[in-house]
Amino acid sequence: MLELAILGLLQEAPMHGYELRKELTAKLGAIRAAISYGSLYPTLRRLQAAGWITEAAETSATAEEVPALTSRRGRVVYTITAEGKERFAQLIAQTGPETYGDTGFGVHFAFFSRTDRATRLRILEGRRRTIEERREGLRDMLGRAAERLDAYTLELQRHGLEACEREVRWLEELIANERSGRAPTVPDDGTAGGRREDNSPPPPGESRNERP
Amino acid sequence: MLELAILGLLQEAPMHGYELRKELTAKLGAIRAAISYGSLYPTLRRLQAAGWITEAAETSATAEEVPALTSRRGRVVYTITAEGKERFAQLIAQTGPETYGDTGFGVHFAFFSRTDRATRLRILEGRRRTIEERREGLRDMLGRAAERLDAYTLELQRHGLEACEREVRWLEELIANERSGRAPTVPDDGTAGGRREDNSPPPPGESRNERP
DNA sequence: GTGCGATGTATCGGTCCGATACATCGCGGT
DNA sequence: ACCGCGATGTATCGGACCGATACATCGCAC
């Protein structure tokens, strides 16, 4: 999952680790708290070893006049390679069970503007199915097995059930929008008129593989 | 987290691994999908090594007449020890930052009927604070940094923000109920009259440490 | 001039997951 | 009468990710 997210972000611009973490946190803020460096750096190492990204030490730009002298450990800037872009396209298009879990779905969704519409629909529907199953499980629990659980556990289930129902409704809307070829619109937060009409996702057709 | 959940469940009855997993999944169904055996068995081993639980192989009850002959690998039943109960009480009462994360909070909440009221309040308020901070982060993002993000990411944030707002409201209700000494009541699902008036949590005072 | 918070890179131990393997039991289909 | 197959049941292994920790530099406020 981290691999996908990193590849996706580096496609927008080269970055160093710290910056990458901040962008990651911004983009995935709704999903997970913050990515740990204990995950980030080893993953960057792995991606570099695989050839998906290259790392370049940032030197003082002019020349290496004073190399020693408080050996400045410059920032390491990571850049995605052509193979990395291919890898990203492959990862973003392939959907498995983990694509529909909370984290997996969130990461995929965050890169929907780089995903073709067919895949977007596949993912949204898979997610809906997953949540519907979770919802049914909770409903069963609140029905049949209710007397085995204490009041607090029951309340937790109730709250979880409600969250499931809301998410299914949200997904329905997104799916309807996708089918009609529209951008994701805010459902209506009281003030009429959408948020902004530019920066909409690629109108139906292509999406990935615009030239570097 | 798993440690706490296992100790809590075994306090209700001795169980073998498979059963434990099912109960765990039932009790925490609203929080996480299902506990992996790859976590469960190693944790059980660890708990046993620490002396919090004991494991007893289940033999055929009558006698070991036919010991060989398709060596029946009986189920292993785990039982909590007195030290284990102490450990549970300690874990349930101690609150740290991880208590307020999604998983940590869910597990603690699921055992609220074994938690004293002061601790319940502390946890609910800590959780509220955590969610409020997440909410503020999302609001900032949707305000200041909105133009840097694409429409899909924005929509994800919006949905996350709404979830935060709902959870804060839910927590407010729970906190108010705790303060007034009432059990968690269903907010009103249309049909008047509560679900069931028995099995309410311990009225104000004691809660843990009822004799075995 | 000095402390201190933000920036920045990096490792280590530990928790938990997903895939996999293997064995038994009861039941329905043929 | 037999067979398969899904539920029950125990267990391991590699890998992903986290939290704590360490260490160094920069800019700026006091």
Q: Which residues, including other chains, have CB under 8 Å from residue A58's CB and lie 6 or more apart?
A: A16, A74, A75, A76, A77
**What's the confidence (pLDDT) of residue B66?**
42
- Residue A119's pLDDT band, with cuts at 50, 70 and 90, is very high
Contacts B156 to A, Cβ<8 Å: 30-31, 106, 109-110
- Residue A21's pLDDT band, with cuts at 50, 70 and 90, is very high
Contacts A111 to B, Cβ<8 Å: 152
Domain A2-57+75-102, CATH 1.10.10.10 — does that match? yes
- Residue A185's pLDDT band, with cuts at 50, 70 and 90, is low
Give me the mean pLDDT over the B23-48 stretch: 94
Indicate the pTM of the whole model: 0.83
Of A29, A137, A151, the CB nearest to B138: A29
Whether pLDDT at B189 is above 50: no
Rounded CA gap, A172 and B27, in Å? 28
Which class is domain B2-58+75-102?
Answer: mainly alpha
Nearest CA in chain B to A163: B163
**What's the confidence (pLDDT) of residue A159?**
97
Contacts B26 to A, Cβ<8 Å: 141, 145, 149
Q: Is the CB of B3 under 7 A from strand C?
A: yes
Rounded CA gap, B13 and B11, in Å? 6
One-character DSSP codes across B42-60: HHHHHHHHHTSEEEEE---
Strand C interface, A 170-189, C-beta < 7 A: none
